[in-house]
Amino acid sequence: MAQTITIDPVTRIEGHAKITLTLGDDGRVSDARFHVTQVRGFEKFAEGRPFYEMPSLMARICGICPVSHLVASAKACDGLLAVKVPETGANLRRLMNLGQITQSHALSFFHLSSPDFLLGMDSDPATRNVFGLAEKFPDLALAGIRLRKYGQEIIETLGGRKIHPAWIVPGGVNDPLTVEERDRILAGLPEAKDTTRLALDLFRRTAPKFADELDSFANFPSLFMSIVGKEGELEHYDGKFRVVDSDRKIVADGVAPADYADIIGEAAEEWTYLKMPYYKPLGYPYGLYRVGPLARLNTVDKCGTPEADAALHEFRAMASGSILSSFHYHTARLIEILYALEKIEELLTQTDILNTHVRAKAAPNASHGIGVSEAPRGTLIHDYEIDDDGLITKANLIIATGHNNLAMNKGVLQVAQRFVDGKNLHEGMLNRVEAVIRCYDPCLSCSTHAAGQMPMIITLVNPDGTVADSITRG
């Protein structure tokens, strides 16, 4: 009879997860596994459907980052049409994507993770959530809610609704931006920037109190991957792959989106529905790499906007090479919001943004299309093949959170070895195991595009298979 401690579900993450820890002879954790427990079959049921349905259908992979799927899917469809998207159309897609980065990062920081560092890792689980935050820090909770709302309203202003807008389409976008809409978005910028600066400042002051977490929250050497812009700048909409190592040395650069399979392989394990992507030259499982906000700030030469660049400079001063602790995903996320807000302003103050030619139209001209973009959680790849009638014959998706699968597993093991004592468990230990997962802000509805959900189960198994201790959460 194995001893099981169940954390089910992993909470305050976007999805359902389950964790299994195995104990060694000394009562310490010897192995850890992070399980994703849902599969939905998008890659399979896309087959036989018209390619132009894909953006709207694939958006339903995820309610947090539907815009990422709209972007990557529409870009794969642009490839099938073999058209050039009008520049204004591309910039309007960018704008919606930046709105999404703002809302998704605000959600991750304020609604999901800040209860850990503002109320405390060991605080009462009954109130360790956004409502508990609102009770104790009403102004901050309100500011966070309003920042997320601002990002959502940008999406709504452009696409007519906040979640699953049908506005990004193959060849561009559905309709142009009006002066009134532009001015409405611009009017919200000052408050959004103030809130982001406040959060960044608050987190800088709070982080040092978490020395143990900083040190053990998936803090290990690894590769980092993202797409970067033409001048090595931060770029979420369009760019080429770059991979750097823990010294921030470039190991791959300028890899075209269409060649992703040259550098990324995918493995599967029977204990999780989430595939395990790895960096091909190093093989599986050694080719572990990380994606997302922290990875992007490690791969780029610069953000390309003044305030975010100043924050990046300060961020990088913490280490000589790449920033390795996953606890700093939070810091990176806030710097990215700052960048997104600056970039929104930059795009909206260009006169071209009001151009009305925002979509190129064509019939399918190619049988294979690949779309890559940087979702809030990392690099997202949609890869479609169609037949002569424009019906999908093959779809392969590599999802942002998936890239981090190996790294999340390694991170869970590291934090469990530091904090979990199998002979004497308490709730705060298990919350830390979950909190390392929250750093990655995994998007599990995305991750389970193939399958399903993740409850989090922590199983403690003695070497002889007996139960060492158990804890009931909730």
Chain residues 51-70 in contact with another protein, contact rule CB under 8 A: 57, 60-64, 66
Q: Which of residues 166-205 bind another protein (CB under 8 A)?
A: none
- Per rule CB under 8 A, is residue 422 in the interface with another protein? no
Q: Which of 32, 67, 145, 312 binds another protein (CB under 8 A)?
A: 145
Q: Which of 38, 91, 219, 414 binds another protein (CB under 8 A)?
A: 38
Count of CB atoms within 10 A of residue 259's CB? 13
User: Token pair 């579900």 is at which residue?
Assistant: 9
Q: Which of residues 347-376 bind another protein (CB under 8 A)?
A: none
Q: Which of residues 104-143 bind another protein (CB under 8 A)?
A: 107, 111-112, 125-126, 128-131, 134-135, 138, 141-142
Minimum distance from CB of 28 to another protein (Å)?
A: 21
Minimum distance from CB of 192 to another protein (Å)?
A: 14
Amino acid at 389: D
Minimum distance from CB of 452 to another protein (Å)?
A: 6
- Per rule CB under 8 A, is residue 40 in the interface with another protein? yes
- Per rule CB under 8 A, is residue 418 in the interface with another protein? no
Instruction: Report residue 217 CA to chain centroid gap.
Output: 17
Q: Which of 270, 388, 389, 464 binds another protein (CB under 8 A)?
A: 270
Minimum distance from CB of 73 to another protein (Å)?
A: 14
Minimum distance from CB of 324 to another protein (Å)?
A: 28
- Per rule CB under 8 A, is residue 280 in the interface with another protein? no
Q: How many angstroms separate the CA atoms of 419 and 121, rounded?
A: 12
CA distances (Å), 471 to each of 81, 94, 424, 468, in order?
56, 47, 10, 10
Cβ distance to another protein smaller for residue 95 or 435: 435
List, as one string, the DSSP characters of 12-66.
SSBS-EEEEEEE-TTSSEEEEEEEEEEE--HHHHTTTSBGGGHHHHHHTT-SSSH
List, as one string, the DSSP characters of 316-354.
HTT-SS---BGGGHHHHHHHHHHHHHHHHHHHHTSGGGG
Amino acid at 208: P
- Per rule CB under 8 A, is residue 409 in the interface with another protein? no
8-state DSSP, 86: P
Minimum distance from CB of 155 to another protein (Å)?
A: 11
8-state DSSP, 443: B
Which residues, including other chains, have CB under 8 Å from residue 203's CB and lie 6 or more apart?
109, 117, 330, 331, 334
- Per rule CB under 8 A, is residue 148 in the interface with another protein? yes
- Per rule CB under 8 A, is residue 14 in the interface with another protein? yes
